């Protein structure tokens, strides 16, 4: 299987399956001399881990990370950082009923046809459990680029949206509720909606908005490695993501150029920021902001038709522990992937300018 690595200079390779012994990763390219805050790393994992509230999957995993290499006395050595997160609460029998079934909108069918073998326990390698390794790497990337601030939050659940621009939100309130929405009134509506959907044995989608601040001018490579293209790839690699837009996004397609252009101030900043902090694929010093759309979780606790390995359409019903809405737990994943992109491009920028 190819495609298990992300990044060029700050590079993460992940391994492991949802119901295997462990998941983990190797980070290559992290500079030496970085003093790590291990509590901060674990805190990021705690934001993503299952079982943290009544509106997420009730699988109980401590998600404690163990580092095996690349760190000496709390400081990075410049060598590969190896880490592992052990799986402790697998219930593989919950998936025995789908051993010969291809669940709708899952990777079961494509994995089986591509590889000729499939780990049906929780989706195996295709499970979102793999993203815990990304959060570890993202937490380290955040510490490497500590002057840059990355905040993601739930901006919609179903048809319930925050109706304020991000500039009017207090990011300190993101962690004040289980849905991770900084607008308290909207958060209550979102939570009620997820609880309602969960009772129906169904699931619901939503969006996450991410804001990256204090980004210097000059990150990103023109043509194929544009900053927004790298962010798009990072976000679209996350399980259940169906869409990505930055700056004005699709709304920009409705506007005239005279309305959409970001006019300059004398200091190089712009009067508006419909460009989303990126022009010509390069950061311009303004806030980078983007939105990521997540589909409803594919496993529903309702009867559905499914295809089996014999080519028959049969009735099945989802079992096991699943998120009725993946968005709250995906917030730290979005931040982590954004941090990996910015860290990677920061190292590339330093290499270009010899700023070591």
- What confidence score (pLDDT) does residue 53 get? 79
**Cβ atoms 356, 17 nearer than 8 A:** no
Stretch 211-237: mean pLDDT: 97
Q: Could you tell me which of 6, 75, 67, 69 has the C-alpha nearest to residue 344? A: 6
How many whole angstroms separate alpha carbon 71 and alpha carbon 68?
8
The CATH number assigned to the domain holding 18 equals 3.60.150.10
How many whole angstroms separate alpha carbon 228 and alpha carbon 218?
13
Least confident piece of the model among 167-176, 179-188, 305-314: 305-314
C-alpha to C-alpha distances, 221 to 59, 125, 290, 345, nearest whole angstrom = 41, 31, 19, 8
Stretch 6-30: mean pLDDT: 95
pLDDT at residue 356 above 50?
no
Considering the entire predicted model, what is its pTM?
Answer: 0.94
pLDDT band at 90 (very low <50, low <70, confident <90, very high): low
Stretch 10-30: mean pLDDT: 94
Question: Which residues, listed in sequence order, are joined to residue 250 by a DSSP beta bridge?
Answer: none
- What confidence score (pLDDT) does residue 57 get? 73
Ramachandran quadrant class, 280 (left: phi over 0; alpha: psi -120 to 50; beta: rest):
left
SS3 14: strand
**Cβ atoms 87, 60 nearer than 8 A:** no
Stretch 247-276: mean pLDDT: 97
Token pair listed for 74: 């709390």
pLDDT at residue 321 above 90?
no
Least confident piece of the model among 80-89, 97-106, 152-161: 97-106
DSSP conformation class of 248: T
Q: What is the DSSP string of 310-344?
A: TS-EEEEE--S---S-SHHHHHHHHHHHHHHHHHH
Ramachandran quadrant class, 258 (left: phi over 0; alpha: psi -120 to 50; beta: rest):
alpha
Q: Could you tell me which of 295, 13, 239 has the C-alpha nearest to residue 127? A: 239
- Return the percentage of the chain with pLDDT > 90, whole number: 73
- What confidence score (pLDDT) does residue 60 get? 72
Tell me the pLDDT tens digit for each residue of 200-211.
Answer: 999 999 999 999
Q: Cα-Cα-Cα-Cα dihedral of 333, 335, 338, 342, to 10°? A: -130
Please give the tally of structural domains in the chain.
1
Neighbours of 22 (CB within 10 A): 15
Q: What is the DSSP string of 85-135?
A: EE-----GGGGGGGTTEE-TTSSHHHHHHHHS----STTGGGSGGGHHHHH
**Cβ atoms 336, 123 nearer than 8 A:** no
Tell me the pLDDT tens digit for each residue of 108-117.
Answer: 888 888 888 8
Range of the domain at 223: 5-353
How many whole angstroms separate alpha carbon 176 and alpha carbon 254?
36
pLDDT at residue 68 above 90?
yes
Mean pLDDT for the chain overall: 92
pLDDT at residue 127 above 50?
yes
Stretch 40-65: mean pLDDT: 85
pLDDT at residue 17 above 80?
yes
- What confidence score (pLDDT) does residue 320 get? 62
How many whole angstroms separate alpha carbon 299 and alpha carbon 321?
9
- What confidence score (pLDDT) does residue 212 get? 98
C-alpha 107 chain-centroid distance: 18
pLDDT at residue 236 above 70?
yes
Q: Could you tell me which of 32, 35, 147 has the C-alpha nearest to residue 80? A: 32
Neighbours of 66 (CB within 10 A): 11
C-alpha 271 chain-centroid distance: 30
**Cβ atoms 351, 9 nearer than 8 A:** yes
Structure-token match 């109706």, residue found: 163
C-alpha to C-alpha distances, 150 to 61, 117, 181, 277, nearest whole angstrom = 26, 39, 15, 13
How many residues belong to the chain?
356
């Amino acid at each position: 299987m190819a495609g298990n690595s992300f990044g060029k200079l700050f590079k993460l390779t992940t391994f492991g399956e949802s119901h295997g012994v462990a998941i983990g990763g190797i980070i290559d390219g992290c500079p030496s001399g970085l003093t790590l805050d291990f509590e901060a790393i674990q805190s990021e994992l705690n934001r993503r881990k299952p079982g943290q509230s009544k509106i997420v999957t009730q699988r109980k995993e401590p998600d404690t990370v163990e580092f095996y290499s690349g760190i000496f006395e709390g400081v990075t050595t410049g060598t590969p950082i190896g880490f592992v997160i052990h799986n402790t609460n697998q219930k593989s029998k919950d998936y025995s009923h789908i051993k010969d079934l291809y669940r709708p909108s899952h990777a079961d069918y494509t994995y089986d046809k591509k590889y000729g073998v499939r780990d049906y326990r929780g989706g195996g390698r295709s499970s979102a459990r793999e993203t815990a390794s990304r959060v570890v790497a993202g937490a380290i990337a955040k510490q490497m680029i500590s002057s840059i601030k990355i905040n993601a939050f739930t901006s919609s659940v179903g048809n319930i949206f925050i109706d304020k621009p991000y500039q009017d939100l207090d990011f300190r309130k993101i962690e004040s509720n289980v849905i991770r929405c900084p607008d308290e009134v909207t958060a209550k509506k979102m939570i009620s909606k997820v609880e309602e959907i969960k009772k129906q044995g169904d699931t619901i989608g939503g969006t996450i908005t991410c804001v990256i601040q204090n980004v210097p001018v000059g990150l990103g490579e023109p043509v194929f490695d544009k900053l927004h293209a790298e962010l798009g790839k990072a976000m679209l690699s996350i399980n259940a993501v169906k869409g990505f837009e930055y700056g004005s996004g699709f709304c920009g397609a409705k506007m005239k150029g005279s309305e959409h252009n970001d006019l300059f101030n004398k200091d190089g900043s712009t009067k508006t920021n419909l460009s989303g902090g990126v022009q010509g694929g390069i950061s311009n010093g303004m806030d980078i902001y983007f939105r990521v759309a997540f589909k409803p979780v594919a496993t529903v606790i309702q009867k559905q038709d499914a295809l089996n390995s014999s080519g028959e359409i049969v009735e099945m019903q989802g079992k096991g522990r699943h998120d009725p809405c993946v968005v709250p737990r995906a917030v730290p994943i979005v931040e982590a992937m954004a941090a990996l992109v910015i860290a990677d491009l920061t190292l590339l920028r330093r290499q270009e300018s010899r700023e070591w």
